[in-house]
Amino acid sequence: MTALICGSMAFDTVMVFPGRFRDHILPDRIHLLNVSFLVPSMRRNFGGCAGNIAYNLALLGGSGVPMATVGHDFEPYGEWLRERGVDISRVRVIEGEFTAQAFITTDLDDNQITAFHPGAMNHAHVNSVPADDGITLGVVAPDGRDGMLAHAEQFAAAGIPLLFDPGQGLPMFDGAELLEFVARATWIAVNDYEAQLLAERTGIALAELARRVRALIVTRGADGSVIYADGREIAIPAVRPAAVVDPTGCGDAYRAGLIYGLQNGLDWETTGRVASLMGSIKIAHSGTQHHRFTRDEFADRFRTAFGRGL
């Protein structure tokens, strides 16, 4: 079973300001904001939802192909993924554009100032879901707006089961458009804030939304997650991480665990625990694709965390 993961590919440039923004941004001068921060610490990470999910799924031994539009600067990222066994044949380079990029400055209080350039991501709609390429599971993750709409429609037309993961892209859509996504989705994965926003924008209670799909998964950070499936509310415990270093990308790692469970026919209790452990492993590492493990190491961690084998 191969998953086609439609979503963003991005470079994340993360800078750390060894001070506090509040000491440099004066409330009574906010209308004339002109500040500069010296950032002696900087790192550039490979990211984007499609890339992160595919990377994590490969670690688990699952089969996932990212589909995204990227810029002329993508080659180092592409080489990174190829070396880690990720098939990037569905990644299309858009000439004259940069790969999507986030520039994030963090201060000592963990406040962040972020500038995001979508670049080639705005062309996501030029990619089409293949109907005859062995794809048995689809994912629509945050991407260009037109691309998300088109790919959900194409998965539905091809009869391919779809995991809808709107993430930070959810605010781009109105209630009617979100209901179209729900109608085409087989499963929905959101965090607790996104779940509330989805219910508000559609005007439909979460319980009713859950009845319209095979499963609705809601993550709650350190409070674990809940899977609404088969008329049940399945509580999934969080796994205590070795350290809390960087939460960026934890949701993508969790979703890779969901896809792995779906690909391998695992029950929801096990699938949710695989996903939970993936998020816990990720949060202990800086960046979204710097964690590593072998299958045996993951199985050992699973047994330690949940008291049973995988």
**Per-residue pLDDT tens over the stretch 130-157:** 988 889 999 999 999 999 999 999 999 9
Structural domain span for residue 165: 2-24+40-306
The answer to whether residue 31 sits within a structural domain is no
pLDDT digits (tens, 9 = 90+) for 60-108: 999 999 999 999 999 999 999 999 999 999 999 999 999 999 898 888 8
Q: What is the mean pLDDT of the chain?
A: 94
Per-residue pLDDT at 248: 85
Which pLDDT value is given to residue 119? Answer: 97
Is there a domain that residue 30 lies in? no
Query: Parallel, antiparallel, or unpaired: how do β-strands 100-106 and 112-117 relate?
Result: antiparallel
Answer yes or no: is pLDDT of 225 > 90: yes
Q: Which residues pair with 41 in a beta bridge?
A: 16
Report the predicted TM-score, pTM, of the whole model to 2 decimal places. 0.93
Whether 28 shows a pLDDT value over 80: the answer reads no
Contact partners, residue 215, CB within 8 Å, separation at least 6:
187, 188, 227, 228, 229, 268
The answer to whether position 29 is within a domain reads no
Q: Is the pLDDT of residue 23 over 90?
A: no
CB burial class (10 A; 0-12, 13-18, 19+) of residue 144? Answer: buried
Domain count, the chain: 1
pLDDT value at residue 295: 93
Q: What is the CATH number of the domain that holds 274?
A: 3.40.1190.20
